[in-house]
Structure 1
Amino acid sequence: MKRLFKMAVLPIVLLLAMMLSGCQSNSQEQTSGSAKTNQSLNWKVADFNFKDENNRSFGMDQLKGKVWLADFMFTHCTSVCPPMTGNLVHLQKKLKEAKLPVEIVSFSVDPSRDTPEVLKRFAQKHGADFSNWHFLTGYSFDKLKSLSEGSFKSSVAKPSKGSDQFTHGTNIFLVNKEGVIVKKYNGFQDVPYDRIMKDIKELER
C-alpha cells in the first residue's frame, strides 16, 4: 500500500518542483545581477523628455550634471512596486540626512493608466518627497520599452492574457553626472543602502 501511495504521489511532487523552478527562474530573470552591488557598468542613458507628476516636461536636460537613481514601476502593481517604492522612500530619507544631492526618477511601465495625477496620488500615499523625486509618464509603452531595454538593459512586457500586471525589472540604477549608468542594485529585497550611499559619495567627490 505504501509503495502504491509513493508511486501515486511522485508525479505530483515532480510537477510541483517543475512549477516552483519555473517561478524561481522568472524572478531571477527580473532581478538578474542586482545582487552584485559592486558590479561596474557603463551604459549611456538615451536622451528622453517626458512628463512628471505635475504634468511638466522632465528629462535628461533637467538631470544634466546630477547624480540620479532610477527604477521602473506602475501604480496598479499588486506585488513588487509598493515595497520597492517604500524602499526608495527610506533611501531618500537617508540621502537627505547625509545631505547628498541626488535625484530619483521612477518610470511608469503603464503610461496609459498612470497619468500625472494618478502617479502623484500614488507617490503621496507612499510618502515620497517631490523635491528631488520625479514620477514619469507621457509616452507610449513602446518608447518606454525601448528606453528600459536599450539603456537600462532591463526587460519589460505587457500583461499576459487575463491579467493587468506588467512585467518589469526590480533594480535601482545609479547614474553619474554624465548620464551613464554605473551601478545597479536590488530594489525589492535586501536593499544595500550603505553600499548605495558609499557609491554616491564617490561620484560626488
Structure 2
Amino acid sequence: SNQSLLTQLLSGDEKFRIASFPTDLPLNGMGSDAPFEFASKQGLMTVMRHVHLVLSRLYPNRPVFMAGRSQGGVAAILYAQHYEDLAGAIAINPPHPDPELFRFTVQYLEDKANVLADLLHAPGVTLHDRSWEAYKTFTPSFDYPSMRSLSPILTLVSLGDPFNLFPQYAHALKAFTENDAKNQLYILDAGHNLWNRKSTDTYREVINLQAQFMVNQISKVRKAC
C-alpha cells in the first residue's frame, strides 16, 4: 500500500515484491515437542543451503535474505559467514556463545522460569525441558564471533529482552560487529516482543531498519549488474 514503510523508503515510483518463507529452527528452549534439534553447524548450513537453492530455483535472479530471531538469528549470521551469494542476513537478539555470559544468562532464566511469561509479556510461555537442554548444550558451540562474514549482516538487539539483560551481552555483540565491515548493529530500547504493534514507535523503527537494510542491499546488487 502507499502507506507502507517499504513504499516510503523507495525512491519515486519504484516498486518490487517481497515473499516470506518461514523456516522453523526449534532450538530456543521454549518450543514444546520440537520435531528436530540442530546440534551440528554443518547440518544447519546444509539445511539452509538447500532452502536457499530451492528459492533461487523458484525465483531466479531474485535476491534472497535470511532472517531469524534468537537461535534463528545465529543461524542467519552463520549462513552469511559461509556464503557470499546471500543478499543479506538479519539477526534479532542472537545469543552470544561466550561461556561466562551464556552461563549467567541461563542461570537467570532458570531462576525466573516460574515468571517467564510475565517477563516476556507472553502468556503461557515457559521453558520446555527437551528444547531447553538442547539450547544449553549446543548454543556455545556456534562460535560465530570468531568468523568473518561473506554477506552483509544486520543485527538488532533489544535491551529489555530477558535474554539480553546483562550489559556485557550488548558489548559483546558490538565488539563482534565492529570487527567486521559487513556487519551493522542497532541497539534498541525495547522489550522481548519487537513486533508489538502497541509500541508504535518501536515497531516502526524495527520495520524501518530491516526494510532500509534490504533496500540498500538490493540497490547495491542492481548497481553491480
* TM-score, normalised via structure 1 length: 0.28
* TM-score, normalised via structure 2 length: 0.26
Q: More relative contact order in 1 or in 2 (CA 8 Å, sep 6+)?
A: 1
Larger Rg: 1
Kindly indicate which of the two structures has a greater share of residues assigned to helix.
2
